[in-house]
Amino acid sequence: MVQSSVLGFPRIGAQRELKKITEAYWSKKASVEELLAKGKEIRAHNWKLQQAAGVDVIASNDFSFYDQVLDLSLLFNVIPDRYTKFDLAPIDVLFAMGRGLQRKATETEAAVDVTALEMVKWFDSNYHYVRPTFSHSTEFKLNSAAGLKPVVEYLEAKELGVETRPVVVGPISYLYLGKADKDSLDLDPISLLDKFLPVYKSLLAELYSAGAKTVQIDEPILVLDLPENVQKLYKGAFEQLTGEGLPEIVLTTYFGDVRPNLSAIKNLPVSGLHFDFARAPEQFDEVVAAVSDSQTLSVGVVDGRNIWKTDYTKASALVNKAIEKLGKDRVVVATSSSLLHTPVDLANESKLDPVIADWFQFATQKLDAVVAIAKDVSGEDVADLYAANAKSIKARQESSITTNPEVQKRMATINESLSTRSSPFPERLAAQKEKYNLPLFPTTTIGSFPQTKDIRINRNKFTKGTITKEEYEQFINQEIETVIRFQEEIGLDVLVHGEPERNDMVQYFGEQLQGYAFTTNGWVQSYGSRYVRPPIIVGDVSRPKAMSVKESVYAQSLTKLPVKGMLTGPVTCLRWSFPRDDVSQKVQSLQLGLALRDEVQDLEAAGITVIQVDEPAIREGLPLRSGQERSDYLNWAAQSFRVATSGVVNSTQIHSHFCYSDLDPNHIKALDADVVSIEFSKKDDANYIREFSDYPNHIGLGLFDIHSPRIPSKEEFVTRIEEILKVYPADKFWVNPDCGLKTRGWEETKASLTNMVDAAKEFRAKY
Ligand SMILES: [Zn+2]
């Protein structure tokens, strides 16, 4: 009997229970007991669900209140000193590291003011992990203050009658994905491996004592370009982690092709290897050949990153190929990665067109997929399931929803001149200076203002039909006016309308574009309690009518200062959607570029002549390995942006925005935007700033962290700007926050922005 295996299940709950309880806890509306109880309830539900579906290998420790990598930092005591001096409960230390903590002293609690640790993309997914931060004083030990999470959760499942396989990020990946703290910049985290392994091993021993026979160790960095010294660490490390009193190990890799690092994992003393064949089927022959005689192969065929129905026949064919080589006992049918990256349950989508819904599988449906394929290759009769599956696959292939001849005709018109501004930047800059006459250190924001409860209530009322379209629009206009007046009052130079009408920066446009489908409950965790509901690209994309002009024009009518039009760029629309898997991402991106080009031109024609086209997702789309695929990606990504933005006159100022640091200035250069803003507040690296000082156009380096509720003082802004000015020219300098302010409250937004503008004014006076 071939076993079925799921590498991890979404932890957010089918109705976002996790978000609701954590946010209630943060705002002191729920107790720590209620928080922990809800976590337990979600875990129990997920295990039972998988058990009922017939999944053989079910993961535990795939749950987290914030992030699974951050959990390890707490567990292994990788806690920078600044979080330990307040005597916080373990869960609060976790949240402080994840999102920062600022609170005033009360009778029972001391004042706390700490920033969050850096948060970065989890490979090329839209999930973010909190970066482990090491220093010379890092002292690895099992931190049992709140119990050993993997052990606690393993036992919890066991008590429910579910035998699970605990999952833990592997020791080499954990170190490699971390960074050195400010005070220890000469430290290479990977050099800590020898110190770390004994502690990691003691965790495995604890799991074994608790009864865990096998542990899933994720080493996702094996799909990256790994330096040779890191590749060489695997053998020794895993030799240390196996033996008497320790569980067997299944080493898992996902999100790509491991072949360049295959020598690192050949003949490791692990009992099984897992590979992602949904993403990288081309590695099949070589990686299967590398499985040693005593090892099992976990065949990742059910895509953990997308929502398309698995083609059962194709999947079975691949698994059978593995069985031919290894025999049924040594092959496991698995999801390609954790299902964390897919929505929880398609059954919650009552509004989706049933024709289209039949093409999808969400996490819950993927359980059935893994089980069906395992049964089929075991020789059980699942003919009905396979016939139904084949019918859906064929229906999608033949559907007229997926193709639009008009769009395809227009795609043929894309050429160099369509994707190039009519003049180089210096000429555009002159025209823009004349038009706007902005001061030095111009101030602006990235676009969104707080999405208050009031906004959500009114949007809900409108969706449910309890208020009319007119009433809703009137409400939105009032919100826009509030945001405009506020920005005028504190002295910002380039205003925004605040985006009260937008639920999400991609979904909002997706809902107005043809070729998209969207869900009502298809949430996926992005970070912490922030979830996104990615729309789904199902066919050729086009824009039937203007999407954002009305709100921008209204905002501009209220003020003499320039109001930025706000759009989401083609690559970000693509990356933050579930893309089609039947045409290339390049084609989808260029189609989006054309659709947005129409919007940019409509905005310009309506008098909105500062236009920001956000591309925060360009970085995350970067193929994980260098080489041809990466340079091709960068070419079509930049071209898509330029297709969208090159149809305007010189005096129209095109802005763009990028979330997350670790950007290569060259990638941004190719977009040729007049002004770019990038997240920057957590960067302390003068070399990095210097790289950007060579950037030919203008840049706003983000000055404060919008993921955290803490309020930087004016002095903090001044110090930060002074630091940057040591290596960065003043005449290219824009002053802005890291990112949009939608997740923040008004109080902290007002205070932070006021301090930011005051700091800018101080520099303006000086220069
Ligand atoms: Zn951003």
Tell me the angle at which helices 32-53 and 363-378 cross, rounded to the nearest 10 degrees: 30
Mean pLDDT computed over every residue of the chain: 95
> Which of 384, 400, 416 lies at the terminal end of a domain, its last residue?
400
Calculate helix-pair angle for 312-326, 363-378, nearest 10 degrees: 50
Rounded to whole angstroms, the Cα distance separating 231 from 224 reads 11
The CA 637 to ligand 1 mean position distance, Å, reads 18
Does residue 470 form part of some domain?
A: yes
Q: Measure Cα distances from 717 to 97, 623, 752 in Å.
A: 22, 35, 9
Both structure tokens of 94: 């976790």
Q: Annotated binding site, which residues?
A: 19, 126, 446-448, 499, 576, 614, 657, 659, 679, 739
Radius of gyration of the chain (CA): 26
Is residue 93 one of the residues assigned to a domain? no
Same domain as 432, residue 390: no
Task: Return the top range by mean pLDDT from 496-500, 668-672, 688-692.
Answer: 496-500
Question: Which residues neighbour ligand 1 (ion) by CB within 5 Å?
Answer: 616, 659, 739
Q: What is the mean pLDDT of residues 411-435?
A: 96
Say what the pLDDT of residue 212 is: 98
**Residue list, annotated binding site for 5-methyltetrahydropteroyltri-L-glutamate:** 19, 126, 576
In a domain? residue 83: no
Same structural domain for residues 653 and 598?
Answer: yes
Compute the distance from residue 593 Cα to the ligand 1 centre, in Å. Answer: 20
For residues 316 and 355, membership in a common domain is answered with yes
- The CATH number of whichever domain residue 474 belongs to comes to 3.20.20.210
Over residues 309-351, the pLDDT tens digits come to: 999 999 999 999 999 999 999 999 999 999 999 999 999 999 9
Which of 400, 434, 450 lies at the terminal end of a domain, its last residue? 400
Q: Are residues 19 and 160 in the same domain?
A: yes
Q: Is residue 100 part of a domain?
A: no
258 and 310 part of one domain: yes
**CA-wise closest residue to 742 among 478, 442, 443, 446:** 446
- CA dist 500 and 711 (Å) reads 23
Q: What is the DSSP string of 499-532?
A: -TT-S-TTHHHHTTSEEEE--SS--EEEETTEEE
For ligand 1, the distance from its centroid to the CA atom of residue 311, given in whole angstroms, is 36
Q: Could you tell me which residues are annotated as the binding site for L-homocysteine?
A: 446-448, 614
State yes or no: pLDDT of 463 exceeds 70: yes
Q: How far is the CA of 562 from the centre of ligand 1 (A)?
A: 21
pLDDT tens, position by position, 622-676: 888 888 888 999 999 999 999 999 999 999 999 999 886 567 888 889 999 999 9
User: For residue 440, is it within any domain?
Assistant: yes
Q: How many CB atoms lie within 10 A of CB 544?
A: 10
Alpha carbons 447 and 736: distance in angstroms, whole number: 10
Name the packing angle between helices 363-378 and 383-398 (round to 10°): 120
For 536, phi and psi rounded to 5 degrees? -120, 125
482 and 338 co-located in one domain: no
430 and 499 housed in the same domain: yes
Examine the domain organization and report whether 306 and 222 are in the same domain. Answer: yes
Give strand pairing partners of 272.
Answer: 250, 296
Which of 112, 753, 187 has the alpha carbon at shortest distance from 491?
Answer: 753
Residues forming the annotated binding site for Zn(2+)? Answer: 657, 659, 679, 739
Cα distance between residue 169 and residue 478, in whole Å: 48
Structure tokens at 390: 């084949």
In a domain, 99, yes or no: no
Confidence of residue 692 (pLDDT cuts 50, 70, 90): confident
Q: What is the pLDDT of residues 2-13, one digit of tens each?
A: 999 999 999 999
- Residue 109 inside a domain? The answer is no
Residues 390 and 433 in one domain: no
Whole-number Å distance between alpha carbons of 315 and 600: 43
Domain that holds residue 150: 3-77+118-400
pLDDT tens-digit profile of 124-155? 998 999 999 999 999 999 998 889 999 999 99
DSSP 8-state symbol, 224: S
Do 334 and 457 belong together in one domain? no
Per-residue pLDDT reduced to its tens digit, 362-397: 999 999 999 999 999 999 999 999 999 999 999 999
Percent over 90 (pLDDT), the chain: 87
Structure tokens at 556: 């501009």
707 is catalytic: yes
User: Domain count of the chain?
Assistant: 2
Residues 501 and 368 in one domain: no
pLDDT, tens digit, for every residue of 397-421? 999 999 999 999 999 999 999 999 9
Question: Per-residue pLDDT for 504 more than 90?
Answer: no
Q: Which of 341, 497, 698, 707 is catalytic?
A: 707
pLDDT (tens digit per residue) in 558-598: 999 999 999 999 999 999 999 999 999 999 999 999 999 99
Query: How far is ligand 1, taken at its centre, from the CA of residue 707, in Å?
Result: 10
- The pLDDT > 70 percentage for the chain reads 99
Of the pLDDT bands very low, low, confident and very high (cuts 50, 70, 90), residue 709 is confident
Asked if pLDDT for residue 740 goes beyond 70, the answer is yes
388 with 460, same domain: the answer is: no
pLDDT digits (tens, 9 = 90+) for 243-281: 999 999 999 999 999 999 999 999 999 999 999 999 999
553 CA → ligand 1 middle, Å: 23
Q: What is the pLDDT of residue 661?
A: 59
pLDDT, tens only, 200-235: 999 999 999 999 999 999 999 999 999 999 999 999
Enumerate the β-bridge partners of residue 57: 5
Summarize the confidence of residues 447-464 as an average pLDDT.
94
